[in-house]
Amino acid sequence: MLSINLEGVTAVVTGGSSGIGLASAELFLQAGAAVAICGRDGERLRQAAHSLRGKFPQARLFTQQCDVLDAGQVKEFAAATEQALGAASILVNNAGQGRVSTFADTTDEAWSEELHLKFFSVLHPTRAFLPQLRSQVQPAVVCVNSLLARQPEPHMVATSAARAGVVNLVRSMATEFAPAGVRVNGILVGLIESGQWRRRFEAREDRSQDWAAWSGELAARKRIPLKRLGLPAEAAQAIFFLSTPLSSYTTGSHIDVSGGLSHHA
């Protein structure tokens, strides 16, 4: 990746205490940005802060426990971030997880919960930080989404539908915010190494398999052309590109980070 200096820039990452969010925070800190992360789990957030400060002892880092589905908490996080680090130039909307369910077994309540999670985990932070972003020179919003948005799975019907809606939302926000200079893009991830996959690995039946063999077998079953799961850092690199002037003429777009799993051009 081309070297880029983000000194004087504040980057905000929701769901920043683990996985793709944490990897993104590391990249921003490495480039010299001040970084704010939030998460629901206070202990995991403390562990993430300890790890980041260990790697970047001179970094300007702010952390706050926050549920992105609570508009009041998100507003408090936005205000506290601005006070601690200055106005945000970059917002990464990363919070959210999948729901395993089919059309037949997804209740009305489950549909409501899933649609609310996927949309308001983007809407609340974007609303809260938009005034800050508009005051900056090269502001950007990046939404972490899933390949399910364009390649739905029948066992994840509600999540797939909600993810597709977020693709549309990204495009709509990109068009509306463009006159203010705020770019909005997203990434579509496939199978990325995560705590969820590690837990499934620990529960494997064949105890002779190491992680490389087990995850390679999983990739083969899923027909991933690159024959492996992606790394959080690989998704973070796409986020970094879309967040910075490296992609200064890109808005309303999505980068596929699925190892070739996508069947779409």
H helices present in the chain, as ranges: 19-30, 42-55, 71-85, 108-134, 157-177, 195-202, 211-221, 232-243
- In the chain, how many domains are there? 2
Is 80 part of any domain? yes
* 249: exposed, middle or buried (Cβ count in 10 Å: 0-12, 13-18, 19+): exposed
In this structure, the answer to whether residues 214 and 238 fall within a common structural domain is: no
Dist. CA 127–CA 138, nearest whole Å: 18
Q: What is the pLDDT of residue 1?
A: 47
| Two tokens, residue 163 | 């993810």
Domain that holds residue 211: 193-228
In this structure, the answer to whether residues 150 and 211 fall within a common structural domain is: no
Q: What is the pLDDT of residue 201?
A: 86
In this structure, the answer to whether residues 143 and 165 fall within a common structural domain is: yes
pLDDT under 70 in the chain at which residues? 1-2, 265
Is 213 part of any domain? yes
Strands 34-39 and 90-93: unpaired
Give residue-wise pLDDT tens across range 162-192.
999 999 999 999 999 999 999 999 999 999 9
Dist. CA 87–CA 9, nearest whole Å: 8
Q: Which residue has the tokens 């309303």?
A: 252
In this structure, the answer to whether residues 32 and 138 fall within a common structural domain is: yes
Distance of alpha carbon 28 from the chain centroid: 14
Nearest in space to 144 (alpha carbons), one of 264, 28, 240: 240
Contacts with 209 (C-beta within 8 Å, 6 or more apart), sequence order? 217
Q: What is the CATH number of the domain that holds 56?
A: 3.40.50.720
Is 5 part of any domain? no
Dist. CA 220–CA 87, nearest whole Å: 45
User: Are the C-beta atoms of 76 and 128 separated by less than 8 Å?
Assistant: no
Is 133 part of any domain? yes
**Longest alpha-carbon distance in the chain:** 57
In this structure, the answer to whether residues 107 and 198 fall within a common structural domain is: no
Q: Which residue has the tokens 């799961």?
A: 229
In this structure, the answer to whether residues 212 and 163 fall within a common structural domain is: no
**Per-residue buried b or exposed e for 37-71, using 16+ beta carbons within 10 Å of the residue's own CB:** bbbbeeeebeebbeebeeebeebbbbbbbbbbbee
Is 1 part of any domain? no
Nearest in space to 92 (alpha carbons), one of 222, 203, 217, 183: 183
In this structure, the answer to whether residues 14 and 116 fall within a common structural domain is: yes
In this structure, the answer to whether residues 83 and 66 fall within a common structural domain is: yes
In this structure, the answer to whether residues 128 and 45 fall within a common structural domain is: yes
Q: How many CA atoms lie within 13 A of 118 on its CB side?
A: 25
Q: What is the pLDDT of residue 2?
A: 58
The pTM is what? 0.94
Q: What is the pLDDT of residue 207?
A: 85
Is 89 part of any domain? yes
In this structure, the answer to whether residues 214 and 89 fall within a common structural domain is: no
In this structure, the answer to whether residues 187 and 148 fall within a common structural domain is: yes
Give residue-wise pLDDT tens across range 65-75.
999 999 999 99
Is 181 part of any domain? yes
